[in-house]
Structure 1
Amino acid sequence: MDPSSAPRGHRRAQEQTPWATHPARRTDPSGEPYDLRQTGRHHRARAHGSSAKKVAAILAVLALVTVIGIGGIAALRLTGNLTSSPLNLSDGAAPAEDGPLDILVMGSDTRSGTGNTEYGSKDDSEGRTDVMMLVHVTEKRDAVTVVSFPRDLIVEIPQCTDPDTGKVYPAEKDMLNSAVERGGPGCTVAAIDKLTGVHTDHFMLADFNAVKELSSAVGGVEVCVNEAVDDPKSGLRLPAGISTVEGEQALAFLRSRAAFGNGGDEARIRSQQAFLASLTRKIQADGTLTNVPQLYHIAEVMTQNLHVDQGLTSIPTLVQIAGTFNGIDLGRIAFVTAPTEPYPADPNRLQLDQKPADKLFTTLREDVAVTGAAESAAPSSDPATPAPGASAAKSGGASSRPSASPSPTRPAVDPALVPVTVTNRSDTGGRDAQVVQRLRTGGYDQARSGKSGAQLSATQIFYHPDWALAAQDIAALLDAAPSQLVPSYEVGGVQVAVGQDFTHGERIDRGQGLPDDLQGQTAEQVTCQATAEQ
């Protein structure tokens, strides 16, 4: 069965209205027109980050769903802020009227328009969709899975027809972020549908300014870094520990590539997922979804920076989507990265790691929450499963961090030989001594307390690369997540920096996590980002 025929409820044919008749073209402060159709990344090799658009997009989703309760007149004004274009340029598929909800959220790194010109030159005025996320909301509206597709993703892009010119672009294999130049965002929708076998119901496209405005509108978002950051490329400057970012610093946190991990997209995506999880927690804790004046302010900000499909400009649709996020448990909102591996023809590009990717996409098609799908979503033998090599997600290759799965038998390294230092980076006095005792009970006779530092949201296990297996053993003993393992040549052995997620007990309570074969986190999980590897 072809993926496009997968049952997803009644679908209507959608009119392919020309791009020009739906005002996707805007004007910059000088009055010059521009549009949000983008050029592919392969036409330019500049190093400026485009991760902000990913965040702008998902923030747009989180903000737009708050339209519920605002009222008809206000919603009408908000829809008047939006620009729109056709949903799918390949087959013209329309969104489902019921069933699961799938929204492709994209971000434009356009340098044109209010608030965007400072991030590049006029040569960069046409934006790109270097990062894309598929937001899947279950039919029961009780779980959300946000799948990130990093930018250097090699995929089969289907034939697309430009709704403005009528030009037909033949199907070809290329990077996913180049699909948008084949007629607009609707071609990216077509490519994602072909890649995953999931029918996209709507798309949203936002720009840099959306990130700054929304992060300020909610009063800032809490983030955590394990060491001080000073990244001149993105402008990110943060002290070690916990900070609240908004406006320019929020944008810098989401754009930064050099500050985290190995400087690649895998580390940057992790920081973006942590930001979005923190934002989600803040919105729920502050009661934003029931605060009508604040909802309207956020929705006003976001709709001014959004380009959506034609079906998303209707008031009933906005209200319907608004209700989907209200009240979903944080442990059932998952941010994951499409599993990838290096692309054989070019190691600087990626393709899907097919087996776990098939399993993930099958989970979405079968409308199962990934937080409860560790055993239930085996790879499908249905032809709807994408063909091998049909996708990729930028991770910079295999992760250098070891798995933190509990050892089935005994530690890989004799605990008595491992030098372990424990520092208290939480707000609970004496916590380092308690963890030292836990480690000694586990055979780590050399465990001792060390000098404390800035508070961390989440526990970090730093380790010298020569002690990677020992760090894995300790992570399994304490139930630390893989993302909490941080290689560092500045550590002599293993250092456990106890964060605010580990203030009691002998094991870290990670709540409802993700299957071991998926990278990411839930909105419930508090994480701290590892700065650039030494």
Structure 2
Amino acid sequence: MSAESTPGPGIPGPSGSSGPRHRARDRRRKKRGKRSKGALIAAWTAVGIVLLGGAGAGYVFFKLNGNLQSVNIDQALGSDRPTKVDNGSENILVLGSDTRSGDNQDLGGGEDDGTARSDTAMIVHVYEGHKTASVVSIPRDTLIDRPECTDTDGNAYPAASGVMFNSAYSTGGAACAVKTVETLTGIRMDHYLEVDFSGFETLVDELGGVEVTTTEPISDPDSHLDLPAGTHQLTGEQALGLVRTRHAVGDGSDLGRIQLQQAFIKALVEQVKSIGLFTNPTKLFALADTATKSVTTDSDLGSVNSLTAWANGLKSIDSSGMDMVTMPVQYDPANLNRVLLDETKADQVWTALKADKPIPESATEGTATGQADGVVTS
């Protein structure tokens, strides 16, 4: 991120006051368990897309096709949506979910209550020509006005004011999440991808690990992570700890964790492109099988053929062509647990994406960052 850190009155975490920042930080470091872990959505998306784009035909397609799940977002949202912009660009909402069931119960450390949560959300804007992209992370703790929405089963939910962004998904699933993002940004989401967390460790291990460099030590018992400064080939377990940690870097906030996730995503994209997957059909299939078991798409991408055709147009995007920012927010002076949308700066982001233009640096200057920029590099 290009934004410079600006001290704020507080960060997401347990309740505190508007007193000195270091005192608020100490109060915020209440143990949250393993629930908040960041689902690495864009990473999963990049890997899954690349893998699917190289998968062969016949039984491979049949097997992978059976893994995919899809939801009819268009039917649930109806016609009351932003106008689709026909300039060669695409906008994809990518969410990470934790169903707290099956494999995810072991990873999440919580009750198997059958509910679904989404702690990570990213708008991926693919520019005309499909060689570059901007990724805008939406902090889950942003206070918003959630619009009235209908889920894919036809259940209606009333609007709500001053609620956390991630309440949209927990309230009405994918359709309500898309509705909320479109209302917030005024941008039509062309596609939707949801990635379940359970296969993340397996994916990283099957890739042979992912190389990252830490510019300072990272030690967080809550996320079982202990990395000295230097270059590391992270195992799946270590990668999981890295994208979970929030207390060990920056100001201890979820914004800092977003910065770590963004750095890891770039490293993961480079890893996929560097290991020659397409010359190793066995490894390719194993990775594609893992990825597709964890992906839910909109109905337009709900088959391997459709997803592959779409993915083939994105293969030219590498980490150097990805501009990753966090939606402009400021710490909420009334509640240290939350952040507020910086509407003036956010409008710069949405205006740029609508026009298929790069996000200007001024859009993120002076916004809350989490102060973890540069701690992890690929």
In the TM superposition, 1:53-92 aligns within 5 A as: 53-55=38-40, 57-66=41-50, 67-73=52-58, 74-88=60-74, 89-91=76-78
Work out whether 1:224 is the aligned partner of 2:224: no
User: What residue is the counterpart of 2:6 in the other structure?
Assistant: none
User: What residue is the counterpart of 1:168 in the other structure?
Assistant: 156
The CA deviation string for residues 414-456 of structure 1, in whole angstroms up to 9 with x for no partner, is xxxxxxxxxxxxxxxxxxxxxxxxxxxxxxxxxxxxxxxxxxx
In the TM superposition, 1:200-239 aligns within 5 A as: 200-239=189-228
Distance 1:304 1:274, change over 3 A: same
Q: How many residues align?
A: 343
The CA deviation string for residues 242-275 of structure 1, in whole angstroms up to 9 with x for no partner, is 1111221111111111221121112111111111
- Looking at secondary structure, tell me which structure has more helix per residue: 2
In the TM superposition, 1:247-326 aligns within 5 A as: 247-288=236-277, 292-326=281-315
Structure 2 portions without partners, runs of 5+: 1-12, 15-29
Which residue type is aligned with residue 33 of structure 2?
H
Distance 1:235 1:95, change over 3 A: farther
Residue 296 of structure 2: SS of its match in structure 1?
strand
User: What residue is the counterpart of 1:139 in the other structure?
Assistant: 128
Contact 1:59/1:211 (<8 A) preserved: no
What is the TM-score with the length of structure 1 in the denominator? 0.58
Structure 1 residue 291: Cα displacement: 5.2
User: What residue is the counterpart of 1:360 in the other structure?
Assistant: 349
Structure 1 residue 227: Cα displacement: 3.6
User: What residue is the counterpart of 1:493 in the other structure?
Assistant: none
Contact 1:204/1:306 (<8 A) preserved: yes
User: What residue is the counterpart of 2:146 in the other structure?
Assistant: 157
Work out whether 1:101 is the aligned partner of 2:86: no
Tell me the distance in 2 between the aligned counterparts of 1:483 and 1:84: 35
Contact 2:67/2:292 (<8 A) preserved: yes
Contact 1:157/1:191 (<8 A) preserved: yes
Distance 1:527 1:83, change over 3 A: same
The CA deviation string for residues 79-110 of structure 1, in whole angstroms up to 9 with x for no partner, is 21122222254336698898322221111223
Contact 1:54/1:133 (<8 A) preserved: no
Q: Which of 151, 160, 179 is residue 168 of structure 2 equivalent to?
A: 179
Structure 1 residue 327: Cα displacement: 2.3
Work out whether 1:332 is the aligned partner of 2:321: yes
Q: Percent identity?
A: 36
Which residue type is aligned with residue 77 of structure 1?
K
The CA deviation string for residues 464-517 of structure 1, in whole angstroms up to 9 with x for no partner, is xxxxxxxxxxxxxxxxxx935x8xxxxxxxxxxxxxxxxxxxxxxxxxxxxxxx
Contact 2:225/2:238 (<8 A) preserved: yes
Distance 1:100 1:400, change over 3 A: closer
User: What residue is the counterpart of 1:416 in the other structure?
Assistant: none
Distance 1:63 1:184, change over 3 A: same
Larger radius of gyration: 1
User: What residue is the counterpart of 2:377 in the other structure?
Assistant: 527
Larger RCO: 1 or 2 (CA < 8 Å, sep 6+):
2
Tell me the distance in 2 between the aligned counterparts of 1:90 and 1:48: 35
Contact 1:141/1:328 (<8 A) preserved: yes
Distance 1:290 1:138, change over 3 A: farther
Residue 306 of structure 2: SS of its match in structure 1?
helix
Distance 1:124 1:226, change over 3 A: farther
Tell me the distance in 2 between the aligned counterparts of 1:75 and 1:52: 31
Distance 1:317 1:284, change over 3 A: same
Residue 373 of structure 2: SS of its match in structure 1?
helix
Tell me the distance in 2 between the aligned counterparts of 1:398 and 1:53: 18
Structure 1 portions without partners, runs of 5+: 1-40, 380-392, 402-481, 487-525, 529-534
Q: Could you say what the CA RMSD is over the residues aligned between the two structures, in angstroms?
A: 3.1
Tell me the distance in 1 between the aligned counterparts of 2:278 and 2:146: 37
